[in-house]
Chains A and B, each alone.
Chain A
Amino acid sequence: MAASLGFGGSNAADKTSATVGQSAAQPSYQGPAQMLDDHRLTPASISSLEVHGATNTRRSLLDHVLKPVVEDSAHAGTTLGQVLEHVGAATKKLARFDIFKEEGFGVFLSEAPRPDSALPTDRTELDISIRVKEKSRLVFSAGTDFGNAEGSAYTNAVARNIFGGAETLSVNASTGTRTRSAYNATLSTPVNGNPDLRLAVEALRSATQKPWASHEEQLTGGNLRLAWLTENSDSHALAYSTVWRQLTSLAATASPTVRADAGDSLKSSLTHTFTRDRRDSPMLPQSGYLLRTVSELAGWGPLNGDVSFAKTEVEASGAVPVAIPGLAAQSGVSVGGGLRLGLLYPLPSGYSLSGAAQPSRINDRFQLGGPTDVRGFKLGGIGPHDGIDSVGGDVFAAGSVNALFPLPRTGPESPLRLQLFANAGRLVALNSKGKAKEGREGLAMDSATVFKGVKSAVGELTNGLPSLAAGVGLVYAHPVARFELNFSLPLVLRRGEEGRKGLQIGVGIKFL
């Protein structure tokens, strides 16, 4: 019902109650909507607009959102329906600041008392009052988290609306199965009173074990990030980050490749991330698609730093529900697929494009394989291996197809599915095969060698069948994370790659 008034959409707005004062219409509660429907085309304008309950919020922030509402409604031809739409849009916008309680929104309309001296008009003058409840400004929480292939425990403190402009400071400390320790603090603020355009600055420090390559990586750094949502709810983020990486605490069995990359490096990079998520559910997508691109430029030009490359990754996945003939309701059966591609191109440092470039390090290269990635392989199981270490590659392609079936007893509504899948991947490292070694003193490669290397690595992707595994399993889509228990067998492998025969458990929020 509310939706017909233009209040639909976000959770907060769904709960918004539109109540119209006595002076405007019938007092009965079910009446207003109908009355409003009848009067949608009545000319109307806003006489006053008040916000109650935003005691800690700066007026300028509210002005950014509400001034346009008043101004837009000042035109002669404005109808009641339009006014309500504007107010509805504004409350939705307020809700996106994440400083007001979702259930606390209330919008009240009443006809402004007309001074006796005023000329009678057929325009309805409205007094609008928006009631909000601010969320608590300081929140502490602790809990457990599931990232990809890792569980962790965290404590988190959030200070909301610090300066009254919907600024948020979030301080987080966590420790997990792989992350020995991680601390970060993020201060984020809407730009220009727009909740869909946020600027954030973050400082972070972490130590993460990388057992697939026998080392631990310690990160210390920060980033500055501008994120925005477009009209069609695509999200973009542009970030500058600088991070000091220290590859240390090598296992006794660490391979020569990992030893050669141990030590310090500073990455200074610009990253653009684009996400279009049109899936019905992120944990158990049964229809819709996801498109994601990540592009990173590190070290080149004014960025400096110790590593220099361009890196890009594209991910596309989608699912279509399968109707079963003769069954009117949703069958719960769906077929899905995903494709991921990535490329790292070493660049010369400085402003040159043709200068000598350093080949990639292990912490910049891609890893592929694992229960949430290419199933049927160990974590980092695909691609170049030095002994037991998965040392990563510069070019990769991975794809999967799967079919989801509801379990006989539970039906399509339940978050349980039976899954059939086949997935494949190929991860290749840039390698000049020592051709240019003679006459080359150091590690650096000239631009022609880099180009040839990348080209041959890309060509290598389609040399033979990709490393391939197939299997069957159970999927449980919990709102927090997706759990999979799969039985799979590797069909095609490269020597050194680590497939996993038999059962494999996957817990994560992102699956191929």
Chain B
Amino acid sequence: MTSIPPTAPSSWRKMQIPRPLQQLFDRFPLLTYEANNLPERSQHLTSSDLPTLYVFSTDRDAGLGLPSFNPGCLKWQTLLRLAGLEFRILPSTNHASPTGSLPFLLPPRRRNTTTSSATPPPPRPIPASNLLAYALQQQRQQQTPSLDFDLDPDLPPRSQAYLSLITLSLRNAWLHALYLDPSHTPLLEQLYIRPSSSSRAVQATLLYQLRRAAAEQISSSSNKIVSIATVDAVDEEEAVYAAAREALAALASLLRESGSGWFFGAERPGAFDAALFSYTHLMMEYMSSSGEGSVEGAGGVALGDMVRAAGDGGLARHRESMLEAAWPGWDASK
């Protein structure tokens, strides 16, 4: 390729470069030095020996491996922890992800073990949908017999109906509370806006864009129009939260039916547990009317209280068990 003129018509490309010219080209470059070092930022952020999961997080939380504050990221972070994969997390943005949304995982760079001239190509990112496959493959490669832990990404068929309670009702309530409820604006800014830029103008633009996107998401998934203007938002709001309350009640009774402490009678927590945990944990963590991480004096919806109330605390106990399973030694007070 390098030896073909850029404007060459395609017929030229099929043509072989004349041999003498090829021989001449092969002789160059006359001298090749070692590769240049990568810039500091890159060196620091991308040259860990561990796979790196990019999630929404803060520098501090990421350093400690604490749960992400984004439900989508938290679900996969939890699953990977349950799968026993060793990884570090780094805060990132949706722009960085190959799918357009976090999380994604970058395997560690391959070391140049052989003395061959070529530097190994950088690892390709692994999108969320392939994370469990990657984790299983890693376990197989390292032959760590922690394989007793079998995470089946395919949920039982009847779980699909229940899953939509999480992916629609709980998600809508979370989006509404965090993005559209003005009493959670400080929280929204702290989690998603301020880490992006220190500039007020940029923050204001991002806030507007995020809110609009959230409103679209909610309206598209509930087929209702939610306007950011608060004129008739009260009814909409009530509908969203009523749906969430119903969903929580249904999930709580499903959990009670299961009897094992995990969903669908499983011995160990699975994908469904992680999906529910990613919302219940964050709701209790960030949106309780009192206690840990509460929003002081805000008249916002206390989704955390809703979770606590569901099924006589069944979902709250489920969350505690999940924390113990995935973050042994978790201290609620951080």
Residues of A within 8 A of B (CB): 242, 244, 246-248, 250, 252-257, 259-266, 268, 304-306, 358-362, 365, 383-387, 391-394, 427-434, 437, 441-443, 445, 453, 464-465, 489-505
Contacts and interface: CB of A to CB of B under 8 A. Distances in A.
Contacts of A434: 43, 47
B114 to A, nearest CB: 14
B30 A492 contact: yes
A493 B29 contact: yes
B2 A499 contact: yes
A305 B122 CA distance: 31
Contact of A392 (B4, B39, B45): B39
Given A256-B106, A257-B39, A306-B198, 20 more contacts: A244-B202, A244-B205, A250-B98, A257-B122, A259-B46, A260-B42, A264-B197, A266-B202, A360-B41, A393-B36, A428-B36, A431-B40, A434-B43, A443-B41, A489-B24, A489-B28, A498-B2, A499-B2, A505-B5, A505-B6
Interface in B174-197: 196-197
Interface in B124-142: 124-125
Contacts of B34: 494-495
B149 interface: no
B191 to A, nearest CB: 15
Nearest to A429: B39
A259 B40 contact: no
Question: Of B5, B36, B37, which is in contact with the most chain A CB atoms at under 10 Å from its CB?
Answer: B36
Nearest to B54: A259
A428 B63 CA distance: 29
B3 interface: yes
B288 interface: no
B40 A495 contact: no
A438 to B, nearest CB: 12
Given A252-B98, A365-B39, A386-B122, A260 B6 contact: no
Contacts of B93: 262-264
Nearest to B99: A252
23 contacts: A248-B95, A252-B124, A259-B92, A259-B106, A260-B41, A260-B92, A261-B41, A262-B96, A263-B95, A304-B198, A362-B39, A385-B35, A392-B39, A428-B36, A428-B37, A430-B40, A433-B37, A493-B32, A493-B33, A494-B36, A495-B32, A495-B118, A502-B2
B146 interface: no
A490 B41 contact: no
Contacts of B197: 244, 264-266, 306
Contacts of A387: 121-122
B39 A499 contact: no
Interface in B1-22: 2-7
Given A255-B122, A434-B43, A495-B119, A262 B35 contact: no
A264 B206 contact: yes
Nearest to B44: A443
Question: Of B44, B63, B123, B196, which is in contact with the most chain A CB atoms at under 10 Å from its CB?
Answer: B44
Contact of B198 (A266, A383, A432): A266
Contacts of A259: 46, 54, 92, 96, 106, 125
B117 interface: yes
Contacts of A262: 92-93, 95-96
Contacts of A504: 5-6
A132 to B, nearest CB: 43
B201 interface: yes
B95 A492 contact: no
Interface residues of B, number: 55
B82 to A, nearest CB: 25
Contacts of A253: 124
B198 A305 contact: yes
Given A500-B2, A501-B25, A260 B196 contact: no
Contacts of B3: 501-502
Given A250-B95, A252-B98, A445 B198 contact: no
Closest 4 CB pairs of A and B: A359-B40, A256-B46, A262-B96, A429-B39
B199 A437 contact: no
B256 interface: no
B27 to A, nearest CB: 9
Contacts of B199: 242, 244, 266, 268, 304-306
B6 A244 contact: no
A84 B219 CA distance: 76
A126 to B, nearest CB: 57
Given A250-B98, A256-B106, A429 B36 contact: yes
B7 A490 contact: no
B4 to A, nearest CB: 7
Contacts of B5: 502-505
Contacts of A499: 2, 28-29
Nearest to A304: B198
Contacts of A453: 40
B38 A391 contact: yes
A434 B36 CA distance: 15
B200 to A, nearest CB: 10
Nearest to A488: B28
Contacts of A268: 199
Contacts of A391: 38-39, 42
Interface string B26-70: 001111111111111111111100000010000100010000000
B87 to A, nearest CB: 14
B109 interface: yes
Contact of A384 (B37, B124, B206): B37
Nearest to B96: A262
A492 B33 contact: yes
Given A260-B41, A306-B198, A443-B45, A385 B36 contact: yes
B40 A502 contact: no
Nearest to A442: B59
B43 A431 contact: yes
Contact of A244 (B46, B118, B201): B201
B33 A464 contact: yes
Contacts of A465: 31, 33
B59 A495 contact: no
Contacts of B59: 442
Interface string B92-110: 1101101000000010010
A307 to B, nearest CB: 10
Contacts of A498: 2
B42 A256 contact: yes
A110 B153 CA distance: 97
